Every structure is written in structure tokens, then in C-alpha cells.
Structure 1
Amino acid sequence: MRKLYLLLTLTLLPLVYTSAQSKLSGVSVYETLSFGGNRLVLNGAGIKERMWIDMYVASLYVPTKTTNADQIINSTEPAIIKINVVSGLLKAERMKEMFDEGFQNSMNGSTAALKAEIDKFISFFDSTMKENDEFMIVYNPKTGITVFKNSVKRGVIEGHDFKKALFGVWLCVKPADEKLKKAMLGL
């Protein structure tokens, strides 16, 4: 019975980590991630800072490395953005504000068409957010964006348009953080 339980647990895990490439602000950044039969490679990773304090580490995983932000934003291939909170100073309200601003920039101020999706996404970053929380933003072309917090599924948001807007938060022409964008693009 114990072996069956272990087997079921291992087959139901959505993500598989492989060897760590390096550490950023104490967070292991893996060379590859796998989910649902898709093997993704680390495109780049960086630190979101605020007033010289590391707030979170963001890692971008795609099927094939590229420095082309538009290609990643518009791609219909699987992708993952992994966010590791590294500061207890980063509160849910601040994260929500950053996402609001990021979506405005990503969509050139025209967020009305995706307001319901944006609100739902932002709700996944609730008031219990704390240091060492890990968020996995997983794009699967068949299902849309699935958000996991500490390996627990928070919800799904369908639609490629939402994926483009969301990835644009970090990778658009006017990203949330230019230094972080370059790091996620491996530049």
C-alpha cells in the first residue's frame, strides 16, 4: 500500500526539478523544469529589488532559449515563470500593486478586455504571502495559465491573450523592472 501511495504521489506532481545551476539570493535556480511531459530550459533568472533589498527571484523557463522578448510573449509553447519570495518585506498588497502596474504597461493601458482575468490572477497573491513562498506560473497551451503557490494549485486562467499580457509584465517594452527583464532573457 505504501508503494502505491508513493507511486500515485510521484505521478501527480505537476513539476519535476532537475539539478540546480546556481543560487540567487539563496534560491536554487534549476537548469530545467518538466511538467506534463514538457521539458523546459532556464532562459534566465534575476532578482526584483526595491531600495537595494532583494524582494523575489524570478526564473523563466521555455522550450528553447532565446533573447527575443516578443517571441516569448507571443509563443504558444509551454513556459513557466517561477517566483520565489525572498523578503518578508514583500507583502501581498505590494505584489498586487506591482502586477496592476505591470499589466498596465504590458497592455499599453488598455486592460479592460482582460479585467476579470487580471483580477482573478491577482487574487492568487493573497494576504498570507510570506518569505520563502514559491509561485509557479505555468503556461500550457491546452489549459492556459495555472498558478501554484507552494505546490498547491491556486487556479487556472484560460486564454492566450492573458498569457501574452502576463508574460509582458516582465518582458514588454516597459517592463516592471528593466534589470530583471534582461536577466530573464539571459542578457
Structure 2
Amino acid sequence: MAAIVLTCSGAGLLSPKPAWAYDPLEFVPDQVAAARLYGSAVMRRYGRPAYGIKLFVDLGTFSADDLSRESFALDLEYKSALSGAEIASAFTGQMADEGIATGAQIRAWHKQLAQFLPSVQASQHLTAVFHPREGTRFFLNGNPVGLIAGNDFCRAFFGIWLDSTTTMPDLRARLLKGAG
């Protein structure tokens, strides 16, 4: 079972930087030294923008075919407010649609995500950073909110957007535009 680590600042409360003070182009290189912006897109639901998405990778070694091989990051800038529970359900629903993980894994990950994913407001950023020996760490506007260990979670979570079987092939193509 994947491990979960919760981190918060202050007296047990998360106090994120204001959305206007967060720039993933400045934050991500501190987390993944060789990472550069690879591609970006806008995820739409029912014709309306749900979030902007940016992929940051090491331009020389990244492979979408082996996501758990090296460190990289994905930044989601939300266009409207959502609860942490809604975000956890959306992520795990997509994982289920992809068929990359088992039902038991997805249920366990949903429970973990629901425990630490924060609610977001419009213009706030949820950034997921993967490191092979650590797992996937989540940040709200640059502040740590949680970690899920394991390569299986990496492949299932980032596979939502990057796996060849994604239900969003056009979005995948825009994120991987640096691949050609």
C-alpha cells in the first residue's frame, strides 16, 4: 500500500501564498532542477475552461512512455472554485477511465487524496511533482499539502493526461509538443 505524508505550515493550518504570488515557472525549477516548460493546454469541461495545465520536464531525458523513470512536474491552474473532495473524485474517476490501475488501488488513492487535497479558488495552482525515490508530492501555490509514494500512483495519476491511452488525446498532444 502506498504511504501518505501530510505536511502543513503554522499551527496545523495551511496558509498558501496568494495565487498572484505563485508562478510555476519560478517554483518548479526549485523542485526539479533540470525541468523546463514542455507543453501546455487548457482542459475544458462542457465547453468551459476547467484548468490550465503545464508540463515541466528535463528536455533531454523525458519519456512519456516511462513516467516513473525521472523527476518532472505538472501544474494545474484552476479556473473556478472546487473542493478537495471534488478534485480527488475527478482525479480518481479519470484514473478508473484510463484502466491503468486496479479498482482497489484507485479506492485507496481516492481515500488518501481526499485526506489532503485542499479546496481551490479560481487562479490557484495545484502542482504535482514526481521524484522516483519519493513519489508524487502535491503543492498548493507552492506550499506542500501531501505526498503519495509509489511508481504505480505516478503512472496512474500523470497517465490521466500523458498515457497513450488517455481519454484526452488532443490535450496530451499539446502537453507533449516538445517531444518532436
Q: Shared fold (TM-score greater than 0.5)?
A: yes
> Deviation at 1:28?
6.9
- Please, which of 35, 41, 44 is the counterpart of residue 39 of structure 2? 44
Q: Match for residue 15 of structure 1? A: none
Q: Match for residue 58 of structure 2? A: 63
Question: Deviation per CA, 1:29-49, whole angstroms, max 9, x where unpaired?
Answer: 749941356220222110011
What CA distance in whole angstroms lies between the structure 2 residues aligned with 1:155 and 1:94? 16
> Deviation at 1:156?
1.2
SS of equivalent residue, structure 1 residue 47: strand
Change (3 A) 1:66 1:54: farther
Matched letter for residue 85 of structure 1: Y
Instruction: Say whether the 8 Å CA contact 2:88–2:113 is kept in structure 1.
Output: no
What CA distance in whole angstroms lies between the structure 1 residues aligned with 2:70 and 2:79? 29
Give the alignment of 1:62-141 within 5 angstroms: 62-64=57-59, 69-71=64-66, 73=67, 75-88=68-81, 90=82, 92=84, 94-108=86-100, 110-113=102-105, 115-126=107-118, 128-141=119-132
What CA distance in whole angstroms lies between the structure 1 residues aligned with 2:139 and 2:24? 17
Q: Match for residue 158 of structure 2? A: 167
Change (3 A) 1:185 1:158: same
Instruction: Say whether the 8 Å CA contact 2:31–2:129 is kept in structure 1.
Output: no
Question: Are 1:142 and 2:137 counterparts?
Answer: no
> Which blocks of at least 5 consecutive residues in structure 2 are unaligned?
1-21
Identity %: 22
Question: Deviation per CA, 1:86-107, whole angstroms, max 9, x where unpaired?
Answer: 234x555543332122111333
Give the alignment of 1:27-38 within 5 angstroms: 30=25, 33-36=28-31, 38=33
Q: Match for residue 8 of structure 2? A: none
> Which blocks of at least 5 consecutive residues in structure 1 are unaligned?
1-26
Of the two, which has the highest radius of gyration? 1
Q: How many residues align?
A: 157
Higher relative contact order (CA 8 A, sep 6+): 2
SS of equivalent residue, structure 2 residue 34: strand
What CA distance in whole angstroms lies between the structure 1 residues aligned with 2:100 and 2:30? 32
Give the TM-score normalised by the residue count of structure 1: 0.69
Question: CA RMSD of the aligned region, Å?
Answer: 2.9
Q: Match for residue 181 of structure 1? A: 172
Instruction: Say whether the 8 Å CA contact 2:32–2:71 is kept in structure 1.
Output: no
What CA distance in whole angstroms lies between the structure 2 residues aligned with 1:108 and 1:161? 9
What CA distance in whole angstroms lies between the structure 1 residues aligned with 2:87 and 2:105? 22
Pick the structure with more strand per residue: 1
Give the TM-score normalised by the residue count of structure 2: 0.72
